[in-house]
Amino acid sequence: MVKKGTKMSIKSRLKMSKKAKERIKDKSSNWKGGVNRFVSISMKRRVLERDNYECQECGLKMDLAVHHKIDYKEGGKTIDENLITLCRQCHMNKHGGKYFGRNKV
């Protein structure tokens, strides 16, 4: 471990970062083949723009979230084609009454 305030070379940081990723992907349910299940901000923006910033179930244009059509746990990938814009209520309905949105729009 590096003491706080000491400088590391870029090469050392990258090496440390790769080791951390290896440890994480072995233990975390969020990693599948090195791919994270969480939707990046840029991907979220693309999906929202594609769906005209409206819920694809009811047409509401507020309190939106991006949802995996095929759940990540069931093999669905975090790619634009597998994501859909839903309002909070429709998103909760898809998840049996539980809200899993992290960053609402």
48-95 pLDDT, tens digit per residue, is 999 999 999 999 999 999 999 998 888 889 999 999 999 999 999 988
pLDDT for the residue numbered 82: 94
> Which region, left, alpha or beta, applies to residue 34 given φ > 0 means left and ψ of -120 to 50 means alpha?
left
72-82 pLDDT, tens digit per residue, is: 888 889 999 99
Helix (H) or strand (E) holding 84: strand 83-87
The residues, ordered by sequence, that sit 6+ positions from 24 with a Cβ below 8 Å of its Cβ are 31
pLDDT for the residue numbered 100: 58
pLDDT for the residue numbered 59: 96
Output the pTM of the full model. Answer: 0.61
